[in-house]
């Protein structure tokens, strides 16, 4: 019996220690805003490469690399970077996320879903489609960027 208690207490102590450690590791709002801004900067870079390549006359390999990267980011669960309260504060610079993102969650979810869908469709089309199809799907993808920015990103 004594041994049983010792074991349980030991297990409980371990549990507390590990929960404590987890609590300590919870990222600060500033860190979350930095990640969010970095993710979108990366997406911005990939879209820039795609635009240049489509203008130059469609280099599939270049477009495909960028499309795969955007799809991977879109599929990685960006919702985790929208922690309530992070519509205020500074990451690399002051956040431009509007509070409406949290008060109009249904709209935010709808736009986020269409972004994920169009990003995955774009990666598929980039691998096999002809230049016109790739261009047209890129238009659909960037339309979701614009929808989200119009609704939920502050203008300077």
To ligand HEC, the closest distance from the beta carbon of 72 in angstroms equals: 13
To ligand HEC, the closest distance from the beta carbon of 131 in angstroms equals: 19
Based on the number of CB atoms within 10 Å of its own CB, is 104 exposed (0-12), middle (13-18) or buried (19 or more)? Answer: middle
Of the pair 17, 92, the CB lying nearest ligand HEC is at: 92
To ligand HEC, the closest distance from the beta carbon of 17 in angstroms equals: 34
- What is the contact surface with ligand HEC in residues (CB under 6 A)? 33, 36-37, 40-41, 43-44, 47, 92, 95-97, 111-112, 115, 141-142, 144-145, 148-149, 152-153
Angle at 142 between CA 124 and CA 154, to 5 degrees: 145
In this structure, the number of other CB atoms found within 10 A of the CB of residue 5 comes to: 9
Of the pair 60, 98, the CB lying nearest ligand HEC is at: 98
- Positive or negative CA dihedral for 2, 7, 12, 18? positive
């Amino acid at each position: 019996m004594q041994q049983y208690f010792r074991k349980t207490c030991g297990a409980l102590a371990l549990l507390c220690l590990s929960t404590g450690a987890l609590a300590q590791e919870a990222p600060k709002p500033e860190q979350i805003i930095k990640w969010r801004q970095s993710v979108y900067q990366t997406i911005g870079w990939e879209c820039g490469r795609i635009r240049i390549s489509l203008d130059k006359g469609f280099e599939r390999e270049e477009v495909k690399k960028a499309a795969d990267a955007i799809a991977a980011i879109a599929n990685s669960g960006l919702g985790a970077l929208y922690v309530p309260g992070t519509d205020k504060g500074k990451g690399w610079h002051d956040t431009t996320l509007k509070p409406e993102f949290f008060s109009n969650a249904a709209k935010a979810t709808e736009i986020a879903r269409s972004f994920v869908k169009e990003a995955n469709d774009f990666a598929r089309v980039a691998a096999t489609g002809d230049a016109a199809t790739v261009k047209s799907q890129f238009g659909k993808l960037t339309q979701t960027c614009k929808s989200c920015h119009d609704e939920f990103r502050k203008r300077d």
